């Protein structure tokens, strides 16, 4: 069995604030160790279910958060950026399942460290008219590649968002949002035991990805009209208003195109991720 783990950070056990997840933050070094422990719990669960090939993609921010020496030796690590496929770099049809560790809810939700990809620079996103964030777009893209998402870990809001997209995905709430920067924390050992147990159980029951075909429409509303205006220089990008652009295409190519949009936006803005 080949497993792919996409590891974000905002939804990791114990983390609630920008200082926990941003390089230079006063608790970042502790945060990256907490991230490794959640990932390692998923790896142990995968091994218990018979996984023999495990790839971990560091999918948060600079994508250099996981220290190789802190990762379970059974897993290979994809680290650094840029990555054409962003949070799903290295995912192929040969993988049997995707596990999303440390994910968070989309922009506008009252979840811990909620946002969609770029702090507050992205105000809203829609996939085929449906509100979407990192969870839904990763799920849809993985399905297009032909690999099912089987488990997601994060706060209760992230888990609810995943269930809304696909109720068959098992979720592990490692904390319960009290506000955007506050949570009722599940004890670390308990949370990691739940991750390990849930991953082992999920992978013991083979699943297939939901069928995905044809073109999709991705729509993004930016905080800055300058970003939207600049993106119109990319063939196939159209505007619906001064701050909203959209494009059509098949996933995963549309996901890759969205990565180009974010690189353009990053070159035009200098916004802190959480404010």
Active site residues: 115
Tokens of 217: 């429409």
Alpha-carbon distance of 169 to 163, in angstroms, equals 7
Q: What are phi and psi of 24, to 5 degrees?
A: 95, -15
Q: How far is CA 174 from the centre of its chain?
A: 16
Per-residue DSSP letter, 108: T
Q: Strand 149-155 to strand 97-103: parallel, antiparallel, or no bridges (unpaired)?
A: parallel
* Per-residue CA distances from 178 to 16, 52, 109, 128, 183 (Å): 10, 39, 12, 31, 5
Measure the CA–CA gap between 66 and 120, rounded to whole angstroms. Answer: 24
């Amino acid at each position: 069995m080949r497993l792919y783990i996409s590891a974000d950070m905002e939804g990791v056990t114990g983390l609630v604030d920008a200082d926990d997840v941003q390089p230079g933050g006063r608790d970042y070094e502790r945060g990256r160790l907490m991230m490794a422990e959640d990932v390692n719990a998923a790896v142990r669960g995968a091994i218990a279910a018979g996984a023999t090939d495990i790839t971990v993609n560091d999918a948060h921010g600079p994508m250099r958060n996981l220290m190789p020496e802190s990762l379970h030796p059974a897993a290979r690590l994809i680290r650094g950026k840029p990555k054409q496929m962003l949070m799903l770099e290295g995912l192929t049809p040969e993988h049997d399942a995707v596990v999303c560790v440390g994910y968070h809810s989309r922009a506008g939700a009252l979840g811990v460290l909620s946002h969609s990809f770029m702090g507050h620079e992205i105000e809203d996103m829609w996939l085929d008219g449906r509100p979407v964030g990192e969870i839904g777009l990763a799920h849809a893209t993985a399905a297009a590649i032909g690999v099912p998402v089987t488990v997601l870990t994060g706060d209760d809001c992230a888990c609810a968002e995943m269930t809304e997209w696909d109720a068959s995905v098992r979720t592990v709430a490692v904390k319960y949002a009290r506000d955007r920067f506050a949570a009722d924390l599940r004890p670390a050992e308990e949370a990691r035991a739940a991750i390990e147990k849930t991953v082992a159980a999920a992978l013991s029951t083979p699943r297939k990805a939901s069928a995905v075909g044809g073109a999709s429409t991705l729509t993004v509303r930016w905080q800055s009209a300058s970003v939207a205006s600049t993106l119109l220089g990319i063939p196939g990008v159209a505007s619906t208003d001064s701050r909203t652009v959209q494009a059509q295409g098949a996933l995963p190519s549309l996901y890759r195109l969205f990565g180009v949009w974010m690189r353009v936006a990053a070159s035009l803005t200098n916004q802190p991720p959480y404010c």
